[in-house]
Amino acid sequence: MPATTDPFEKLKAAQRESWSSFVPVEIMTTPPAAKLVKFAAVAAGQRVLDVACGTGVVTITAARAGAKASGLDLTPKLLERARENAAIAGVDVDFIEGDAEALPYPDVSFDVVLSQYGHIFAPRPAVAVQEMLRVLKPGGTVAFSTWPPEHFTGRMFAFIAGHAPPPPAGTEPPAAPPLWGDPNVVRERLGSAVKDLKFARDTLVAPALSLAHFRAAQEKTIGPLTKLLASLQNDPGKLKQLRAEFDALAADVFEENTIRMPFLMTRATKL
Ligand SMILES: C[S@@+](CC[C@H](N)C(=O)[O-])C[C@H]1O[C@@H](n2cnc3c(N)ncnc32)[C@H](O)[C@@H]1O
């Protein structure tokens, strides 16, 4: 799809900018990457695509399992780090800049299409699903990890969206990323294009010396949160209130110097 016809072009440009600071979070998304690759049963020799790959934690894990792995992401800064990670790990991975809603690959190119906390940020789920299934071979596996709306990370993204300025009047709002964490929504979105739909749950455990440490790290590295708080620099009262609300959300899952973030894994076979 030519970029000029994309109604979310501005939103994607803003996403590209705001996710640039995500590199340090790779330490947290590395362990669940192995869980997703195992859940998808990635095997040596398979062609695997990691959509919204960020710093390449899933892509590189798949490559280490012997797959011919490719990663795609909107954010050039993260792709730079992904290439560095692949070089350190000594694996050959093809990383390219692109949009989950317009994958630059031919139809039926991959045996497995994966996404860890990534394709959920595409504003039109139906377009992202269509693209991910288009590039997948019949009989191939689509698998992704997502944040349930009822748990901390889903609630955090709802909190961010709830305080962000509304989209300009007359424009279509982007879909809420945590809806991808609801199995009923996933079932409906994948629809009759797949069979053997399976779900599993696990938990990402993030170290946190205190709630304030956790918030400080999230403020620096989770682009949409950084952007929201930056917009309040001239409103110290509101900034203080939002930080207190954030701490109250995180306090529910702060235990023994960790923040516990349950996630949902989905796997299905393309018909
Ligand atoms: C929470 S990060 C996850 C990164 C990585 N998958 C991981 O597990 O560490 C979300 C990623 O989605 C990417 N992203 C957001 N919207 C995208 C889109 N429309 N197309 C491709 N990537 C996108 C961001 O650039 C960012 O790398």
How far, in Å, is the centroid of ligand 1 from the Cα of 73?
Answer: 6
State mean pLDDT over 63-67: 98
CA of 218 to the centre of ligand 1 (A): 16
Higher pLDDT, 116 or 2: 116
Answer yes or no: is pLDDT of 219 > 60: yes
Give the per-residue pLDDT at 45: 98
Give me the percent of the chain exceeding a pLDDT of 70: 99
Residue 3 confidence class, pLDDT cut points 50, 70, 90: very low
Hey, where are the domains in the chain? 3-147+168-202+264-270
How far apart CA 271 and CA 268 sit, in angstroms, is 9
Q: pLDDT-derived band of residue 115, with 50, 70 and 90 as boundaries?
A: very high
Confirm or reject: Cβ of 53 under 6 Å from ligand 1.
yes
* pLDDT grade for 169, boundaries at 50, 70 and 90: confident
Q: Is the CB of 70 under 6 A from ligand 1?
A: no
For residue 1, name the pLDDT band (cuts at 50, 70, 90).
very low
Q: What does the mean pLDDT of the chain come to?
A: 96
Ligand 1, atom 27: closest residue by C-alpha: 54
Residue 241 has pLDDT above 70, yes or no: yes
Mean pLDDT of 5-25: 94
**CA of residue 3 to ligand 1 center, whole Å:** 18
Ligand 1: centre distance to CA 260 (Å): 21
Q: What is the 61 CA–ligand 1 centroid distance (Å)? A: 17
Q: What is the pLDDT of residue 165?
A: 82
Model pLDDT, residue 207: 97
Architecture category of domain 3-147+168-202+264-270 in CATH: 3-Layer(aba) Sandwich (3.40)
Q: Indicate whether residue 52 lines ligand 1 (CB < 6 A).
A: yes
Q: Is the pLDDT confidence value at 2 over 60?
A: no
Mean pLDDT of 203-223: 97
Position with higher pLDDT, 165 vs 202: 202
Q: What is the band of 242 on the pLDDT scale with cuts at 50, 70, 90? A: very high
Q: What is the DSSP string of the chain?
A: --GGG-TTHHHHHHHHHHGGGGGGGHHHHHHHHHHHHHHTT--TT-EEEEET-TTTHHHHHHHHTT-EEEEEES-HHHHHHHHHHHHHHT---EEEE-BTTB--S-TT-EEEEEEES-GGGSS-HHHHHHHHHHSEEEEEEEEEEE--TTSHHHHHHHHHHHHSPPPPTTSPPPPPGGGGG-HHHHHHHHGGGEEEEEEEEEEEEEE-SSHHHHHHHHHHH-HHHHHHHHTTTT-HHHHHHHHHHHHHHHHTTEETTEEEEEEEEEEEEE-
Note the pLDDT of residue 166: 83
Query: Phi and psi at residue 144, in whole multiples of 5°?
Result: -150, 155
The dihedral built from the CA positions of residue 46, 269, 26 and 255, taken in this order, carries a sign that is: negative
| Mean pLDDT across 55-72 | 98
User: Whole-model pTM?
Assistant: 0.96
